Amino acid sequence: MNKKQKKNLIRIIIASVLLIILHFLPITGWIRFIGYLIPYLVVGYDVVLKAGKGIRNRQPFDEYFLMAVATIGAMALAIYEDGDYTEAIAVMLFYQIGEWFQSYAVGKSRRNISDLMNICPDYANIEVENGQLQQVDPDDVEIGSIIVVQPGEKIPIDGIVIDGTSSLDTAALTGESVPRDVKVDDEVISGCINLNGLLKIKTTREFGESTASKIMELIEDASSRKSHSENFITKFARVYTPAVVYAAMALAILPPVILYFTTNEITFGTWLYRALTFLVISCPCALVVSIPLSFFAGIGSASTQGILVKGSNYLEILSKTKTVVFDKTGTLTQGVFEVTAIHPSELDARELLHLAAHVERYSKHPIAMSLKHAYGDEADNCSVENIEEIAGHGIKATVNGHIVHVGNAKMMDSIGADWHDCSTHIGTVVHVALDGKYQGHIVISDIIKAHSSEAIQALKRCGVNQTIMLTGDTKKVADYVSDALHIDQVYSELLPQDKVSKVESFLSQKKNPYDILAFVGDGINDAPVLSRADIGVAMGALGSDAAIEAADIVLMDDDPLKLATAIRISKKCLRIVKENTWFAIGIKLLCLLLGAVGIANMWAAIFADVGVMIIAVLNAMRCMFISKYH
């Protein structure tokens, strides 16, 4: 509870006690009115002041205005009839209780969520002259400084380990509980918890640019991108409040006037009371608060599972995902390649690998890494020059004066080399040509991720009716993977730009414009596709800025099952938003109707306002609790 909440709670209690005392005091007339005015002012003075301010600023139609007019009107009616002031005060009292509860609940969930996402440490340790550690503001640490992270502390800034070994808990970032071992020269990212050893880290980024800070910023900004539901409510409230005020005015004036002229009955009091009931019911707070709260809580609970959703709008449309397009490598398969066969035509097997490894010397592509890894000692004194990467084909370079082409069948065709496919192994076939003459091929295979098959099944259960795989890999490998995973459609041997046009054609073939197409990739070379799809999902993006930038949803680890979890969270959130919208609007309309014909009194109106709001807020808070996929 903060100071304001405490103060308001005290006001509520004092007013309630006064109300009970007044109920038993035998006073009448003006003294009675003044007596009841005290608890009214205690609990409602700020509402009346704010209403006055609203009128002065020419923005009168807000909840304060509604409450002020309704309660003052009810007081006036009570003076006129020397009747019951309790109702007017109760309206104000319950309104304040509702406001208090709302502020408490929102504050509580705000704190819960920020605790869950508390990945940014607020200090860094720097070693000073005598070997002592000094805590400094991480914002002041320059790139290239050495920071010390003790066991149990969070790494504040991204960097490279220069001393020590340890295991890191990445759960806060990825939702993955298996610790990661790090040693000297390993890159570490901020937000991980150092579990056992002392680490000295040379920083490679500023604090504000480090992973943990970036992620925090992203989550906090996410709820600024408003969903359709939120925009709908904002528009709704803008039309609804004035409409109700005018309806109340009409209700106070028209029926009694008509009745007076037709039957000569004087019924102004009754109809004024009904009009005031109208005003109390009308406050749209339940919707205005509960819907953003649902999205905020949903985004928060997703991020605790290593799923970053970059906006409420994405969380909203994710639930309508009907088609999921996967990239293969690094998404459904591990992207860790191993050389499984070497089939030379003329050269020695080792020599073929040697040439291939040299050409790939500077490439970071997984295939290049596996070739270099298989050869072992690539950094010998051979000369490698004029390296040229041909996208979708391969790499060409001059090794010891000879032009070597290393790439796929298309590359061999383009240089006119007489290649042949591998007849024994399934995998990525890397062909090698020396001075334009075919020298044989090396087969590299990738492994399907443990959860891929389960993920496809889970997506189907979440309402996805079509799964598609796109890959630059050969048809043979692609078919092998898609058969193993039961993927509906597969397109192979695509260049990066083909993937964009494929996704575009899927988008234009959609039967229903509200069906959503999601693309899942590892974010390394599919940024254009990520941004073209309705929702781009980057996977295994820990530490990759480009992927985080391009995607709408980021899965921090590389488990494809997380996508199904994300869709489930989205569905639950949307269900709660819908429940709240229909529940709140429904109850209010019903009470308005009953109020207009005189069945619902002020107490029903209080329920329609405060009760509905409390129920909606409690319901919205359920978005925070979503179980993992088992």
Partner 1 sequence: MKKSYKIDVDCANCAAKMEEAAKATAGVLDATVNFMALKMKVEFEEGADPQEVMPRVLTACKKVEDDCEIFFN
Least distance (Å) between residue 307 CB and partner 1: 18
Among 66, 124, 155, 293, binds partner 1 (CB under 8 A): 293
Binding of partner 1 by 106 (CB under 8 A):
yes
Residue 448's nearest CA partner among 329, 553, 566, 334 is 334
As measured in angstroms, the least distance from the Cβ of 311 to partner 1 is 11
Buried b (16+ CB within 10 A) or exposed e, 369-385: ebbbebbeebeeeeebe
* Cβ atoms within 10 Å, residue 498: 15
Nearest to partner 1 of 103, 267 (CB atom): 103
Give the N- to C-terminal CA distance of the chain in Å, as an integer: 37
- Helix 29-56 to helix 3-24 angle, to the nearest 10 degrees? 150
Task: Write down the least CB distance from residue 293 to partner 1, Å.
Answer: 7
Neighbours of 319 (CB within 10 A): 20
Judged by CB under 8 A, does residue 619 bind partner 1?
A: no
Site string for partner 1, 496-525 (x = CB under 8 A): ------------------------------
Closer residue to partner 1 in complex, CB, 221/265: 221
Q: What are phi and psi of 210, to 5 degrees?
A: -75, 160
Nearer to partner 1 among residue 288 and residue 368 (C-beta):
288
In contact, 202 and 155? CB cutoff 8 Å: no
Contact between 622 and partner 1 (CB under 8 A)?
Answer: no
Taking contact as CB under 8 A, which single stretch among the options 285-293, 371-379, 410-418, 559-567 is the one that binds partner 1? 285-293
- What's the rounded Cα separation, in Å, for the pair 400 and 85? 100
110 binds partner 1 (CB under 8 A): yes
DSSP state of 337: -
What is the length of the chain?
A: 630
Nearer to partner 1, 217 or 265 (CB): 217
Torsion of Cα atoms, 524 then 525 then 529 then 534, to 10° = 10
Contact 562, 301 (CB under 8 A): no
Edge to edge, the sheet with strand 166-169 lists 180-182, 166-169, 193-194
289 contributes a contact to partner 1 by CB under 8 A:
yes
376 DSSP assignment: -
3-state secondary structure of 508: helix
Number of residues counted as binding partner 1 (CB under 8 A): 25
Q: How far apart are CA 256 and CA 253, in angstroms?
A: 6
Q: How far is the CB of 179 from partner 1 (least distance, A)?
A: 30
Residue 398 forms beta bridges with which residues? 385, 403
Q: Which is nearer to partner 1, 285 or 442 (CB)?
A: 285
Segment contacting partner 1 by CB under 8 A, of 128-136, 270-278, 289-297, 369-377: 289-297
Side-chain half-sphere of 448: how many Cα atoms within 13 Å? Answer: 16
| H helices, E strands: number in the chain | 21, 22
Give me the least distance between CB of 6 and partner 1, in Å please: 14
> Which residue type occupies 581?
T
Contact with partner 1 (CB under 8 A): which of 103, 118, 270, 531? Answer: 103
- Which residue matches tokens 């918890």? 193
* Beta carbon of residue 288, minimum distance to partner 1 (angstroms, whole number): 5
Nearest distance from C-beta of residue 582 to partner 1, angstroms: 19
Evaluate whether 96 touches 288 at the Cβ level (below 8 Å): no
285 binds partner 1 per the rule CB under 8 A: yes
Q: How far is the CB of 222 from partner 1 (least distance, A)?
A: 9
b or e along 248-270 (b: 16 or more beta carbons within 10 Å of the residue's beta carbon)? beebbeebbeebeeeeeeeebee
| Site track 149-168 with partner 1 (rule: CB under 8 A), x = hit | --------------------
Among 271, 296, 326, 419, binds partner 1 (CB under 8 A): 296
Interatomic CA distance for residues 300 and 298, integer angstroms: 5
Select from 159-167, 283-291, 303-311, 581-589 the region that touches partner 1 (CB under 8 A). Answer: 283-291
Is residue 99 involved in binding partner 1 (CB under 8 A)? yes
| Residue 52 vs 543, nearer CB to partner 1 | 52
Residue 209 main-chain phi, psi, to 5 deg: -95, -5
Query: 4 vs 461, which CB is nearer to partner 1?
Result: 4
CB of 63 to partner 1, least distance (A): 7
Name the residue with tokens 């037709």: 262
Per-residue interface string for the shown chain with partner 1, residues 41-70, x marking contact by CB under 8 A? ---------x--x---x-x--xx-------
d(CA 536, CA 529): 8
How far apart are the C-alpha atoms of 280 and 613, rounded to whole Å? 13
Residue 522 annotated to the active site: no
Of the pair 311, 394, the CB lying nearest partner 1 is at 311
**Token pair of 251, please?**
């209700």
Q: State in angstroms the smallest separation of the CB of 66 from partner 1.
A: 12
Residues 206-265 that bind partner 1 (CB under 8 A): 217, 220-221, 223-224, 234, 237
Distances (CA, A) of 465 to 226, 304, 322: 27, 28, 5
Comparison of 244 and 371: residue with beta carbon closer to partner 1: 244
Kindly tell me which of 296 and 314 has the beta carbon lying closer to partner 1: 296
Shortest Cβ 127–partner 1 spacing (Å): 32
Using the minimum distance from each CB to partner 1, give the nearer residue, 106 or 422.
Answer: 106
Query: Given 158, 169, 327, 522, which residue is catalytic?
Result: 327
Q: Is 368 in the site for partner 1 (CB under 8 A)?
A: no
Out of 71, 96, 102, 333, the only residue in the binding site for partner 1 (CB under 8 A) is 102
- 118 touching partner 1, by CB under 8 A: no
The tally of CA atoms less than 13 A away on the side-chain side of residue 356 is 37
Active site residues: 327
| Residue numbers at the binding site for partner 1 (CB under 8 A) | 4, 50, 53, 57, 59, 62-63, 99, 102-103, 106, 110, 217, 220-221, 223-224, 234, 237, 285, 288-289, 292-293, 296
